[in-house]
Amino acid sequence: MKNKYIIGGFIIVIFMSIMGYLLTQTSVAYENNFEMIKSSNKTIKATGAWVKEKKYNIDMEKNIFSFYMVDDRGTELKVIYKGTIPNNFESSTSVVVTGKYRDGLFLASDILTKCPSKYEETYEQSTQSRTS
């Protein structure tokens, strides 16, 4: 009877240890300061805006999409993404990329675009009509 409790307790301790380790390994930090990103080795979610003047590049043979983004302080960062361009990339107001900074490039594993909301204009129009 005591062996069952010892084995059960041992399994619980092992499970809790594994869960604690996994929680420390999957933490992803949000950062909108690209200078901080350049000095980090962790996986980071970088937030910024696409630099439209520099265009973007698509390599169809290698399935690589690259573009430049800028943070609030004006620091630029070149992003390389192995995958296709997001559908609404050209109309986005901001971009969130997840990945790591290596050798002067941000190697993205995921791209999330934020587009202007179709409801913002409607809200502004209704607010203006009430104040008139």
Question: Tokens at residue 7, please?
Answer: 């084995």
pLDDT over 70 for what percent of the chain? Answer: 81
Q: Where are the domains of the chain?
A: 28-122
pLDDT at 123: 47
Assign domain 28-122 to its CATH architecture.
Answer: Beta Barrel (2.40)
42 φ/ψ sector (left φ>0, alpha ψ -120 to 50, else beta): beta
The whole-chain average pLDDT of the chain stands at: 82
Quote the pLDDT of residue 65: 94
The DSSP code sequence of 60-96 is TTTTEEEEEEE-TTS-EEEEEEESPPPTTGGG-SEEE
Residue ranges of alpha helices (H) inside the chain are 2-25, 34-38, 118-131
pLDDT at 28: 65
Least reliable range by pLDDT among 75-79, 107-111, 126-130: 126-130
Which pLDDT does position 22 carry in this prediction?
76
For residue 16, pLDDT beyond 70: yes
Pair 91, 100: CB distance under 8 Å: no
Confidence of residue 12 (pLDDT cuts 50, 70, 90): very high
Shortest CA distance to 108 belongs to which of 73, 52, 56? 56
